[in-house]
Amino acid sequence: MTERTGIYIDGTWSNGAGQIENRNPSDTSDLIGVYAQADAAQLDAAIAAARRAQPGWWAAGVQKRHDVLMAIGTEMMARAEEIGRIIAREEGKPAAEGKGEVYRAGQFFTYFAAEALRNQGDLAESVRPGIEIDVRREPVGVVAIVSPWNFPIATPAWKIAPALAFGNAVVWKPANLTPASAVALTEIIAKQDIPAGLFNMVLGSGRAVGQRLVESRDVDAISFTGSVPVGRGIAAAAIANMTKIQMEMGSKNPLLVMDDCDLDLAVAHAANSAFGGTGQKCTAASRLIVHSAVHDAFVEKLVKAAQAFKVGHALEEGTQIGPVVSESQLAQNLDYIGIGRAEGAELLCGGTRLDRATDGYFMAPTVFANTRNDMRMNREEMFAPITCVQKVDSYAEALARANDSEFGLTAGIMTRSLSRASHFRANMRAGCVMVNLPTAGTDYHVPFGGRGASSYGPREQGRYAAEFYTAVKTAYVAAGAPE
């Protein structure tokens, strides 16, 4: 039998046309495995298999889809610690965070198991006599899913689960940096009683496999999470075929710290938002916009909080921040340190690579002060444990700074003022707004997405996912008079 470090097409594990090494970013001497890379012919086979399998899955009915998704979700939650350690080993987030991610991924499947039963339509009265109208939702067909490395189980789960729940077939291209997580999820799905070819997992490079996938005329919808430049390329490819697209891309999330806030709570939420997951979250707070009345006290406490984090091996007990995911990501992060200094920002702590007992990509949590909103560090997504403080003199100035961005994913405010909180919720141009909460951390049963360059297309998660994973059909029936 082919070793399950390969690709999964049409119900069968197979070797790829090439291979890549998967190494532990906490300890680069730890080789996790060698994983397959698909070629164009194998990708085409996966798409063809998905197209053949999809009608049978839709015909199987809602109870079948419910049962399969419940089984997937239940097993994921039961194995959360085991698979969470796989994530920690290959992606670098602490094991406790990895376990939490897998458990949450299981909840996506159990939630959408129930949504399969709730895929109900509407009846409408016609303006013409003798005609009945019903409106129903049907699957779009074959869904291409392209997911990132930073949440290698949760992000594909919140895409795959609704795709299957609403009767679609899936071709999934995971990130090459986290193939072990992809194999673990695929093994759970593959053991279910589903048509061969309904779910396919194809590892490969973005250029060789990803681009061909999104350009395929046999793909009906594309769900993508990743960078803005890649997203724009996917959008251009999709429009050529009129393919439905849903994209979650970059962010530059602000957290407003007002003069009337609980300062200790503000520091805790800012530090966790900025540095949790090594800052490798699309919801990380990388812009801290702080009222001048509390600025100095806030910054002093934030630096102490940043320096107090335990940075270390992701599987080591007590580690709060793991390594950066790869050598190239670490190099990019350190480049931003130089950019910030060159633009005149004041480096208060961090900004360096850390030495630990193992050879890994460890980086100290970093705080910059005296930054401006026009600096590159406040305009570009960094995906790093770096946050930048800006000083403002009023709530109005803080809100204007927060909205001065091409992005609009999440945003938060720390305040005791009900009027400020209400105004912020109404006037902050972001898809998710938080009051006295971190910018990172969302629930699985409500919509997630942003505005501007952060998102494009229908929302993900919750019942709003149906807007992307289904097509609406309006049926008119003239039954005639009974004889």
Contact status, residue 245 vs residue 255, Cβ threshold 8 Å: no
Q: What is the three-state SS of 189-231?
A: HHCCCCCCCCEEECCCCHHHHHHHHHHCCCCCEEEEECCHHHH
Q: Which of 75, 90, 248, 460 is catalytic?
A: 248
CA dist., res. 70 & res. 111, Å (int): 8
Instruction: List phi, psi (to 5°) of 456.
Output: -150, 130
Contact status, residue 93 vs residue 85, Cβ threshold 8 Å: no
CA dist., res. 18 & res. 36, Å (int): 6
CA dist., res. 38 & res. 16, Å (int): 5
- Rounded to whole angstroms, what are the CA distances from 477 to 126, 127, 394? 10, 13, 61
CA dist., res. 274 & res. 281, Å (int): 9
Classify residue 21 as exposed, middle or buried by CB count within 10 Å of its CB (0-12, 13-18, 19+). Answer: exposed
Whether 248 is catalytic: yes
Q: Which of 25, 31, 21 is nearest to 322 (CA)?
A: 25
Q: Which of 91, 115, 215, 282 is catalytic?
A: 282
Nearest 5°: the CA angle 382, 387, 389 is 130
The residues carrying an active-site annotation are: 248, 282
